[in-house]
A and B are shown apart, each in its own frame.
Chain A
Amino acid sequence: MDGITGVELIRAAALLGAGMSMGFGAIGPGIGEGFAAGKACEAIGRNPDQAGLLTRTMLVGQAVSESTGIYALVISLLLIFVVKG
């Protein structure tokens, strides 16, 4: 491999960064949202009358937790399509 220019190197690093950003960025929201869903189910078991309130609160909390995953998605797309080296 003798023909790697500086621009290519920067693009390649950006592509690797895009994969790592989305890959590792998806771990947190995935575990967090699953935990929220599970705790909502547990709470409905203890207090079935409040099922509506619990489901609503779970969805709001998951939406907030989702935002970190969306940050990772946005940064990945920027690294793939915007960074030109």
Chain B
Amino acid sequence: MDPVAVSLIVKAMYALGAAFAVGFGAVGPGTGMGLNAASAVEGMGRQPGTSSDLFRIMLIGQGATSTPPTFALVIAILLLFGMGDATYLVQGFAGLGAGISIGAASFASGLGSSLPASMACEAIARQPHLRRPFTTLMLVGQALSQTPLIFALLVSFLLIFLPASPDAGILQYVARISAGICMGFGSIGSSIGSGLAAELAIVGIRHHREPEKASGPITRTMLLGLAVAQSPSVFALVISFVLLLTI
């Protein structure tokens, strides 16, 4: 292959990576923000008196849920504007890997962080006086659901900015794309799991005999459980680093 053809292939791989990042990465957050709006609307229909609270909580939840697609957009723009400088084939594989990593992570943490937001809207419509603990749990759950997304962003940045050597072989090509797959798909479980845990923690406060006293012990158990639930994504981060830095 002459040099012109290689640089065209690299550009095509960058474009594919950018498309995967935003295309796949928008599915989860889009669905999630819609579900969030749905439960807010349902709650307003049931309790029109709470509509201003519900509207505020809906917007806060949706704002936090739109962090993942924003990160995917940043990576896609970096890939699209970095196209011209990329010359070696290994950079093409790295760009595709970066897109897969942030795309899959954005899909999952968008879906995951919308779960507590939807449940918070539903809960506030039924028990408006408890909006403070519900909102706190929602925000903590969303933040933790986006931890794997930060790992994926880190791996994507590393993939894009790691210096490329012209004599890289097939092992380096495969290691780049494998690191992206590992971190991207490895973050799906922890993101959705954290969202589920925060959602069910809100349900727990709703069922408590004295809900005002419930948030302390329930938040403690939720944080303990979530710390354990993050470990699979930490394993995926370790394997991605090993693939990127030792091969």
Q: How far is the CA of A36 from the CA of B200 in the complex (A)?
A: 10
Chain A contact residues, majority secondary structure: helix
Q: How far is the CA of A34 from the CA of B193 in the complex (A)?
A: 4
Q: How far is the CA of A54 from the CA of B221 in the complex (A)?
A: 9
Q: How far is the CB of A39 from chain B (nearest CB, A)?
A: 6
Question: What are 17 A-B contacts with C-beta separation under 8 Å?
Answer: A12-B170, A12-B174, A23-B185, A25-B186, A26-B235, A32-B193, A33-B193, A33-B225, A33-B229, A38-B199, A38-B201, A41-B222, A45-B206, A46-B204, A48-B217, A58-B225, A62-B229
Residue interface mask A38-78, B partner, CB < 8 A = 1 = 11111111101001001100110011001001101100110
Asked whether, in the complex, the Cβ of B228 is within 8 Å of the Cβ of A51, the reply is no
Q: How far is the CA of A14 from the CA of B238 in the complex (A)?
A: 17
| Given A33-B231, A35-B200, 14 extra CB contacts under 8 A | A23-B186, A27-B232, A31-B192, A34-B197, A41-B204, A41-B225, A43-B204, A44-B221, A45-B214, A46-B207, A48-B214, A58-B224, A59-B228, A66-B228
Whether, in the assembled complex, B29 has its beta carbon less than 8 Å from a beta carbon of chain A, the answer is no
Residue interface mask B112-137, A partner, CB < 8 A = 1 = 00000000000000000000000000
